[in-house]
Structure 1
Amino acid sequence: MARKAQMHTAALAQALAGDLIENGYDIDAIMRRCSFDATILEAQSPVVKFSDSLRFFELAAKLTKNDLMGLKMGMTHDIRHLGLVCYVGLASPNLAGFLANYGRYVKVINGLLNVDVSHLYDKGAFYWSYDVSPTLTRRQYVETTCASFLHTLRKNTHASLTPRLVRFHHNRSRHLEAFDAYFGGRVEFGAETDGIEFELSDLEIPLKTADRTLLKVLMSYADKVLEDMGQQMPDLIVEVERAIADQLATGAATLNNVAASIGMSPRTLSRKLAAEGTTFFQLLEELRKSLSKSYLRDSDLGLAEISFLMGYSGLSSFNDAFKRWTGNSPGQFRAT
């Protein structure tokens, strides 16, 4: 079966590149660590690897020395430049219609983005996740998209629209007050998934852009696009990494358990990973290393808690592994 495409509509990366250049940053410095280049600025419908967009947003935050770059960008950019999926949403009659249709057609712009609207009408919930390696940092990108998503909804309903709850899967220990001020409701970091929950009464808020005739035309076209895209399978390594991450804290992230969770025998999984140039143990180690760094850098969790989340039996085992990976103890890494 075909693997899920790694490309996505890169309108946000294009907008970010334009913002950086407008503010005087050198184009070579911006693009040096990306596989795309300055031609993205001129593309009418830019498409790049999703992993490159995620890295670009993290790079931009470091380049500008602005940990709130993603949030600030999202507060002033709407998502209409994403194209079809947004316009289908905006032609819907109300907020519920926007959220439901956005979730239905989001694969048009990003085959790696999963939206869950199964609790939209009983909890006002709109959740999302990405079929990408847990080792890929996506904090700035997610904060941008979440803020711009709400900015667009406020612009097309009313400025006081306030979610009951905003959830971020990643951790953050600094500048929390900026998120509280912008979103208005409760904001959680380190949540099970990314998402926004609205009051049920808000779902009936009408959209200023509602157009039933246009909606019918756009939905027909979007259905055809999804049909042409077909059903694709996720990348094997990403699938294994996500399965490992799901089982780390329980201590169950073994080859046998992970293989069973994705419907393979351990022998078959090992053979397929070897064909990809890696092993189960290498993926487990790299994931633990990446997640440990993220927890130490972006959360206030204690070392014992992080050790547990990484599936170690004790803190000494975690300390030994971290020193092997980085040359420093977890405490030294956090202090730098």
Structure 2
Amino acid sequence: MAHSVHVGVLGRILATATAMGVDPAELRQRAGLRRASLDDDDGRISAAYLYDLWHHAAATTGDRTLPTRVAGSTSLDALGLFGFAVMTAPTLLASLRLGARYYPLVTDSGAWRVHTSNQRVVVRWRRDGALTPGRQLANESALAHFTAGLRQVIGAPLPLRRVRLRHAPAGGLRALSEYFDCAVDIGAEHDELELPRAPLDGPARAANAAMHAYFCRDAEARLALLSAGNGGTVERARAELRRALPAGEAAMTRVARNLGMTTRTLRRHLDSAGTSFRALLDEVRMQEAAGLLEHTDLALSEVALELGFAEASAFSRAFRRWAGTSPSTWRRSPTPLSDA
């Protein structure tokens, strides 16, 4: 499956270049981007467009330090769920680890790995493929954005020891050293950040246990949704429905948007798989109902809300259609509902 990136990342590059006097329409045209492809706030697009946009944005602005300029203008809360999960973590080290874990929500074109010891922490970025100019800029951007996010979490200068790059930055070492406030090595084996361990055990500025648990639960569901993308649109839609039901967001338009497609495209995929959105919603509700009734003590009204029903009576009618009996009766003696 092709790697993708959240459209907000490309939006920040375009916004920064526009503020520098570049015509955004011309830049989109050079990078092969249609404006409509960036209109969905929750959409994703092929990572190939990211590399092309970096290349053309740097060439058009004449600023090879553009990655640090974009990173410096991006706040964690602008990154949605990813940013909120990272900001509300209890410690800086926890934020760092979650940033690595949830980074696929930003882009799955590369991966972060965190290596810790008693004295230091190394955060390593790996993105496979030839180091084209666009990929080089994208890699610099990944390190710069990760650093900017950690600075926001700690609310103070980040005590970086060293930054290592596989390539020689076109903008020169001085600009990067000033941004990271430490030495930058080139020709390294990996692209990575090195930090001392001790300061990372301190509390994060916006730590909030309750909100953190909420954001992480949603982030885990989104990660599962991305992973399910390899199993086809039907599986992805099932995963999204499981996430969306308790929040009351199971409308077809919302599900299609979160899958990065139009309602018409989602309907076409489901039709080709021999099902429909209504049938899929019914199936997921039935499976979730069975699990909640058998394995929890939730009242029927609470089960109904978890499944996106406005009233317990509507849930009861649906359950009778699935099981041929009431939810209360089925709960006392559960039987498989797969053939219902």
Q: TM-score, normalised by structure 2?
A: 0.61
Q: In structure 1, the residue corresponding to 2:30 is in which secondary structure?
A: coil
Task: Name 1:213's counterpart in structure 2.
Answer: 210
Greater relative contact order (Cα 8 A, min sep 6): structure 1 or 2?
Answer: 1
Task: Name 1:286's counterpart in structure 2.
Answer: none
Matched, 1:222 2:225: no
* TM superposition shift of 1:211: 0.7
Task: Name 1:168's counterpart in structure 2.
Answer: 165
Task: Name 2:178's counterpart in structure 1.
Answer: 181
- CA distance in 2 between counterparts of 1:232 and 1:171 reads 35
Instruction: Note closer, same or farther for the CA distance 1:180–1:22 as it changes in structure 2 (3 Å cut).
Output: closer
Correspondence for 1:142 among 139, 144, 164: 139
Gaps of 5+ in 2: 231-340
Instruction: Note closer, same or farther for the CA distance 1:43–1:36 as it changes in structure 2 (3 Å cut).
Output: same
* TM superposition shift of 1:117: 1.3
Task: Name 2:188's counterpart in structure 1.
Answer: 191
Q: In structure 1, the residue corresponding to 2:213 is in which secondary structure?
A: helix
- CA distance in 2 between counterparts of 1:173 and 1:104 reads 29
Percent of aligned pairs with the same residue?
A: 20
State the AA in 2 paired with 1:182: Y
Task: Name 1:29's counterpart in structure 2.
Answer: 26
- CA distance in 2 between counterparts of 1:231 and 1:171 reads 37
* TM superposition shift of 1:146: 2.2
* Conserved? CA contact 1:18–1:41, under 8 Å: no
- CA distance in 2 between counterparts of 1:134 and 1:64 reads 21
Instruction: Note closer, same or farther for the CA distance 1:118–1:161 as it changes in structure 2 (3 Å cut).
Output: closer
Q: CA RMSD in A?
A: 2.4
Instruction: Note closer, same or farther for the CA distance 1:27–1:222 as it changes in structure 2 (3 Å cut).
Output: closer
- CA distance in 2 between counterparts of 1:132 and 1:79 reads 28
Task: Name 1:317's counterpart in structure 2.
Answer: none
Deviates further, 103-112 or 162-171: 103-112
Instruction: Note closer, same or farther for the CA distance 1:120–1:145 as it changes in structure 2 (3 Å cut).
Output: farther
Q: State how 1:83-122 maps to structure 2 within 5 Å.
A: 83-119=80-116
Q: State how 1:10-89 maps to structure 2 within 5 Å.
A: 10-39=7-36, 42-89=39-86
Please list the CA deviations of residues 91-149 of structure 1 after superposition, one character each: whole Å capped at 9, or x if unmatched. 11111000111122222332222111133666311111124444573222222332232
State the AA in 2 paired with 1:144: S
* TM superposition shift of 1:44: 1.7
- CA distance in 1 between counterparts of 2:124 and 2:117 reads 9
Task: Name 1:8's counterpart in structure 2.
Answer: 5
